[in-house]
Structure 1
């Protein structure tokens, strides 16, 4: 019996960030009401009778806390009606600094949310404005204090580096200020310029450029060293935690385990199939109201695809991919399946293999995509 996690997507934002390519829409109260009704219909279709007991729940976006207090309470009640919520289970909400007033913080706490992922990005008001954020640095302090005061202590801060015109010194200041909070978890990602974003349009017109690759690499190395000096363990390429505070939900993805995906544009992964939901909001709402299955595409996932993804995802973790776990899941030895990729990547110094795991080297982390593509198998 498999026990999936649950990802729930709330696509509304008060402001669209210049770099974001997730499914998102400007917040509108009426649209949000319709969306929550449709979301409930979709969840009913997958969990019609008894409550499910998920491994983890993650509510992301968009910005879930862009909902008003009444809508947020409705969302929490919908989730509570479909899932058994326990204090032992990781239950995460994404939030933007400035969104969390006292009423919303109390609601989250009262309904059993026990982890908050706060989208800080940088500790620099001018740069926040340049990337399309509406919060200020002071809002981070206000919201963290508000969360801690009610007992929501499992907080993660998200940071971005390699932003346009960002210097190594500016990023160091952001990391130093973030670490002053002494929180249990930090995530930090380099900027990716994705299609259908403001930054992409500027990039195409030659009006935007990222820092040079050597500066981006120096930012990543600085990040790693600062986190280590502060007692945080890098358990995944972009994630750092005090022992015991690793994101259990994200480990679901990196361990190639099953999860529901609810909401517009959400992806789900259930035995033998990957499900991708309709992305446009009117189409999602219409189909969910009709039959609870607002599916854009459902693709079969065979053993070949599972083994490939086991490597792509698992190699993101610092511990790498377990040889024994691979054999238990797929009934074959890893070095038999990837007999070409493993020796040549090892020879190039991009991976290391011991008696229990295969993992990226420091060099391999910097060239992760180059490593991952070597684990694409031939069709036969």
Structure 2
């Protein structure tokens, strides 16, 4: 393992304060330089969009700082405000404002254009990387590979069911000390679960959905898909050659909407 993912979130002090982050720009710079000084490492940076008062101008300044650090991978995430958090409470009191969804999409599309100009590939909804520097761990998850998770809140997948440990550290430790399995929950996937999940994950990746891959796993694809993919292509969300649909930047940002249309 040689990949460092740093949750920078923002290259702007005001937006870091808005998010309630305890680090500042000086600490960010020091951390990124420390990672870059290590031999044979891959650096990935996480940034967040949809933050109050964000504009194309301020976004460009943050992107300039991002590119100055020359990361191998970059992840952009839209701000999601969870109920019960301090940020949610501030919004209820009118002390903070969430950027409208259409403005967030515009900023992400602007970032996608600049990322492409810098030589980064948009290979998944939220992820860009230099060629050959894609996150293999994430790709394993997106290809529905098997994995084992250890520790509180950890998730596992054996190809048939998903298992996730409870988040409580105390009960997890007590169970292990007794020689018992830690408390967990599980979900046995149905055939429809497998199919829907496969389609959903494919449409979140730039390689898109290929009919032959689907047929190898589930049989012939529904006839209406071809009509739907042609309509989706006509709206400028990707390319379809009759056998494979590949979403473009806008299509990746609207992957959930496309999945809903395809899965009915």
Q: Aligned equivalents of 2:219 and 2:38: distance in 1?
A: 49
The answer on 1:172 being equivalent to 2:60 is: yes
Unmatched runs of 5 consecutive residues or more in structure 1: 1-90, 92-113
| 2:122 aligned residue | 234
Aligned: 1:257 with 2:141: no
Q: Does 1:268 align with 2:152?
A: no
Q: Secondary structure at the match of 2:81?
A: coil
- The equivalent of 2:98 in structure 1 is 210
Q: Quick check: 1:277–1:296 contact (8 Å CA) kept in 2?
A: yes
**Does the CA-based 8 Å contact 1:124-1:174 persist in structure 2?**
yes
TM-score by length of 1: 0.63
Q: What CA distance in whole angstroms lies between the structure 2 residues aligned with 1:172 and 1:122?
A: 12
Question: Equivalent residue for 1:220?
Answer: 108
Matches within 5 A, 1:187-202: 187-202=75-90
Contact 2:109–2:249 (CA under 8 A) maintained in structure 1: no
Q: CA deviation at 1:326?
A: 2.5
Distance in 1 (CA, whole Å) between partners of 2:228 and 2:197 is 19
- In 1, Cα distance between equivalents of 2:80 and 2:147: 25
> TM-score, normalization: structure 2?
0.88
DSSP-derived class of the 1:163 partner? coil
Once the two structures are superposed, what CA deviation does each residue of 1:258-300 show, in whole Å capped at 9, x if it has no partner? 2112221222111210002102232333234334532431111
* Aligned-partner Cα distance in 1 for 2:92–2:65: 33
How many equivalent pairs are there? Answer: 261
SS state at 2:8 partner:
strand
Report if aligned partners of 2:122, 2:249 keep a CA contact under 8 Å in 1: no
Q: For residue 347 of structure 1, what is the aligned residue in structure 2?
A: 231
Q: Indicate the residue corresponding to 1:26 in structure 2.
A: none
Q: Could you tell me how far apart the structure 1 residues matched to 2:208 and 2:92 are?
A: 37
- The one-character-per-residue Cα deviations of 1:27-80 (angstroms, maximum 9, x if unpaired) are xxxxxxxxxxxxxxxxxxxxxxxxxxxxxxxxxxxxxxxxxxxxxxxxxxxxxx
The correspondence for 2:27, drawn from 119, 139, 143, is 139
* 1:369 is aligned to 2:219: no
Q: CA deviation at 1:174?
A: 1.0
1:283 matches 2:171: yes
